[in-house]
Amino acid sequence: MAGTREHLSRPRIVELALDIIDTKGLPALNMRRLAASAGVKPMSLYHHYPNKEAILGAVAESIAAAALGDPHAFGPWQERTRLLFVGLYELVQAHPRALPLITTGVLRTPSGRRWMEELMDVLLEAGFTPDAAARVYHLLGAFTLGLGYAQLLSLEVPAETIVGELTGHWADYPNLLRVGLQLAIWDQPADFATGLDVLLARFAEELDGAG
Amino acid sequence: MAGTREHLSRPRIVELALDIIDTKGLPALNMRRLAASAGVKPMSLYHHYPNKEAILGAVAESIAAAALGDPHAFGPWQERTRLLFVGLYELVQAHPRALPLITTGVLRTPSGRRWMEELMDVLLEAGFTPDAAARVYHLLGAFTLGLGYAQLLSLEVPAETIVGELTGHWADYPNLLRVGLQLAIWDQPADFATGLDVLLARFAEELDGAG
DNA sequence: AAGTAAGGCGTACAAAGTACGGTAACAGAC
DNA sequence: GTCTGTTACCGTACTTTGTACGCCTTACTT
């Protein structure tokens, strides 16, 4: 190990990359900007990660690790499942602009896989068949991540832009006019819990019916 | 209007672009490839659209137009809402790789806005407040598009890739092993209807409670 | 036949990922 | 203290992709 001059390291790169993603968006993360933010030239990054994809993977893992709050919550399976998805949702809240990384990371990072492993543990133990467990994940996951995409969209395309594109057309869209900005903005985390519970209750019924 | 030599036109460009997206994916759509598929040089495209973004917008509109099946279905509001979201879901089924365009197109293309206008018409007429109507859209939309993203993911990252990355780690993930490929694949359109109905029923309750 | 506008194109530049080989600085051996 | 090898960093340059600018050809009009 050579100089310890306070410089680059894998965790440092990930930290800076995540900061760029959070503040400027995923497309704004490029090797030159990342290097500059580290006070280094672009090619130096390649001594720590083989390519950009590897850096994105490391960011995904770093984010996903935060979803593993308490490894094992107690209570009935509904509650444990609920907590797992609340964790996922909090991830999205914390780093909405990194959502595409979270999406792929669920099955492709160690922490993501551990999250999924625990979910499957809960569901199989509750009595779901493997296929049913996969369905639960897909539906709840789609709902959770779908809300994340709504949030991301309202971040990247501000409501004013949408409204601006509509000026002069309001006559064609009287009901859009009545509903207004709320359509282009998603910021009702409470509704996430509602939807999650409704879907969970449905799966509980299914399980009882079959068991 | 000059020559009618069978060549480029705006609809033709959109058609070819959509074909590339459907067969090779959104990232594979670039101006050079698109031009080549039209038997033309890249810069020729710029005589029909000002830039790539405009082409993507036109593709989004072209796709969205297909969601406007019967402009006005009959029946109670639940049924009409259901049909609108089924239409959206069919769009995703038809062109999963264009999903990011659909997502943004819902409020940014004429056809998308008409779809949204009709949805708001149905909901407001049913008695939802504007805010509640926006919530219905956000939750159902998140669910619908979220499933689309799951499908897109299983298209772009084949299950074998996921499994390949897990070889040697199966001991760490016994439950993932039991559930197997189904986790990485989404192909259960029937479940979409289930989830949709469950969420709709919940909103119906809410409406009755308030009205 | 000549003018004119529309459609197509050649060239060239900027942004971004990264291959390749060089260099600097520090560790340990002697 | 000098030598040597390893580690971290970097300069240069090639590739891909979007697109600005201006030329050229075509085909219809008169």
Domains of chain B (ranges; CATH) run: 10-49 (1.10.10.60), 71-210 (1.10.357.10)
User: Which residue from B176, B188, B199 is facing A113, i.e. has the nearest CB?
Assistant: B176
Beta-carbon-side half-sphere exposure of residue B19 (alpha carbons within 13 Å):
11
- Tell me the mean pLDDT in the region B171-200: 93
Closest CA to A145 of A153, B109, B202: A153
Q: Which pLDDT band holds residue B1 (cuts at 50, 70, 90)?
A: very low
Q: What does the pLDDT average to over A27-50? A: 98
Eight-state DSSP code of residue B73? -
Please check the confidence at residue A3 and state whether its pLDDT lies above 50.
no
Q: Please name which of A82, A68, A57 lies closest in space to residue A117, comparing C-alpha atoms.
A: A68
Q: Taking residues B23-40, what's their average pLDDT?
A: 98
More confident residue, A141 or B74: A141
Got the DSSP string for B23-61? HH-GGG--HHHHHHHTTS-GGGGGGT-SSHHHHHHHHHH
Query: What is the model's pLDDT at position B6?
Result: 60
Q: What is the DSSP letter of A39?
A: T
Contacts of A12 (CB under 8 A, 6+ apart): A38
Please, what is the end-to-end C-alpha distance for chain A in angstroms?
60
A134 to B179: CB separation less than 8 angstroms, yes or no: yes
pLDDT over 50 (residue B46)? yes
Q: Would you say A61 and A51 are in contact if contact means Cβ atoms under 8 Å apart?
A: no
pLDDT at residue B53, as a whole number? 98
**Measured between CB atoms, which of A117, A143, A179 is closest to B142?**
A143
Of A103, A137, A191, the CB nearest to B153: A103
> For residues B71 and A76, which has the higher predicted lDDT (pLDDT)?
A76
Choice between A210 and B80, residue whose per-residue pLDDT is larger: B80
Residue found under tokens 């939750």 = B139
Q: What is residue B5's predicted lDDT score, i.e. its pLDDT?
A: 47
Cα Rg, chain B, nearest whole Å? 21
pLDDT range class, residue B73, cuts 50, 70, 90: confident
Q: What is the mean pLDDT of residues B49-65?
A: 98
Task: Name the nucleotide with the smallest C1'–CA separation from A46.
Answer: C18
Confidence (pLDDT) at A7 = 78
List own/partner pairs for A181-184 with CB under 8 A and 24 or more apart: A182/B130, A182/B131, A182/B134, A183/B107, A183/B116, A183/B120, A183/B134, A183/B137, A184/A154, A184/A157, A184/A158, A184/A159, A184/B107
pLDDT in tens, A23-37: 999 999 999 999 999
Question: Residues 6 or more apart from A17 whose CB is under 8 A from it?
Answer: A29, A34, A55, A56, A58, A59
Arithmetic mean of pLDDT, B176-182:
94
Size of interface A-B (CB pairs under 8 A): 162
Q: What is the mean pLDDT of residues A145-168?
A: 95
Residues B136-147 have pLDDT tens digits of 999 999 999 999
Q: For A55 and D11, how far is CA from C1' in angstroms?
A: 23
Contact between B32 and B40 under an 8 Å Cβ cutoff? The reply is no
Band of pLDDT at residue B4, cut at 50, 70 and 90:
very low
Q: Is the CB of A43 under 7 A from strand C?
A: yes
Average pLDDT, integer, range B12-31: 98
CA distances from residue B78 to A46, A50, A109, A197, B112 in whole angstroms, order as listed = 55, 52, 40, 20, 20
Per-residue pLDDT band for B71 (boundaries 50, 70, 90) equals: low
- How much of chain B exceeds pLDDT 90, in percent? 87
- Interchain contact, B162 vs A124, CB within 8 Å: no
Q: Quote the pLDDT of residue B209.
A: 83
Bases in strand D with any atom closer than 7 Å to a protein CB: 5-12, 16-22, 26-28
Distances (CA, A) of A180 to A157, A177, A184, B43, B184: 15, 5, 8, 40, 38
Instruction: Give me the pLDDT at residue A71, please.
Output: 63
Q: What is the mean pLDDT of residues B7-34?
A: 97
Tokens 């850096």 sit at which residue? Answer: A55
CB A102 within 8 A of CB A92: yes
Q: What is the Cα A42 distance to its own chain's centre?
A: 28
Collect all residues with Cβ–Cβ distance below 8 Å to A164 and sequence separation of at least 6: none
- Distance from the Cα of residue B195 to its chain's centroid: 17
Please report which confidence band the pLDDT of residue A211 belongs to, taking 50, 70 and 90 as the band edges.
low
**pLDDT at res. A6:** 62
Closest CA to B140 of B121, B124, B116, B156: B116
Per-residue pLDDT tens digits for A176-210 = 999 999 999 887 888 999 999 999 999 999 998 86
Grade residue B156 by pLDDT with cuts at 50, 70 and 90. very high
Q: Is residue B2 pLDDT above 70, yes or no?
A: no
